[in-house]
Chain A
Amino acid sequence: NAGVTQTPKFQVLKTGQSMTLQCAQDMNHNSMYWYRQDPGMGLRLIYYSASEGTTDKGEVPNGYNVSRLNKREFSLRLESAAPSQTSVYFCASSIGGQVGQPQHFGDGTRLSIL
Chain B
Amino acid sequence: TQLLEQSPQFLSIQEGENLTVYCNSSSVFSSLQWYRQEPGEGPVLLVTVVTGGEVKKLKRLTFQFGDARKDSSLHITAAQPGDTGLYLCAGGGSNYKLTFGKGTLLTVNP
Contact = CB atoms under 8 A, between A and B. Distances in A.
Interface of A: 4, 31, 33, 35, 40-45, 48, 50, 58-59, 90, 92, 94, 96-97, 99-108
Interface in B64-105: 88, 90, 92-98, 100-103
A24 to B, nearest CB: 14
B30 A99 contact: yes
Contacts of B30: 99-100
Contacts of A108: 40-42
A43 B88 contact: yes
B33 A100 contact: yes
13 contacts: A31-B96, A33-B97, A42-B100, A43-B90, A45-B97, A48-B97, A92-B42, A99-B92, A100-B50, A101-B92, A105-B43, A105-B44, A108-B40
B31 interface: yes
A99 B31 contact: yes
B42 A99 contact: no
A107 B94 CA distance: 27
Contacts of A102: 33, 45, 48
A94 B98 CA distance: 11
Contacts of A104: 45
Interface residues of B, number: 26
Interface in B40-59: 40-45, 48, 50
B42 A90 contact: yes
A105 B96 contact: no
A100 B43 contact: no
A89 B1 CA distance: 22
Contact of A100 (B88, B92, B100, B103): B92
Contacts of A4: 42
A106 B96 CA distance: 18
Point out which of B43, B50, B94, B96 has the most chain A C-beta atoms below 10 A from its C-beta. Answer: B96
Nearest to B43: A105
Given A42-B102, A103-B43, 12 more contacts: A33-B97, A35-B100, A40-B9, A41-B102, A45-B97, A99-B92, A100-B31, A100-B48, A103-B45, A107-B40, A107-B41, A107-B42
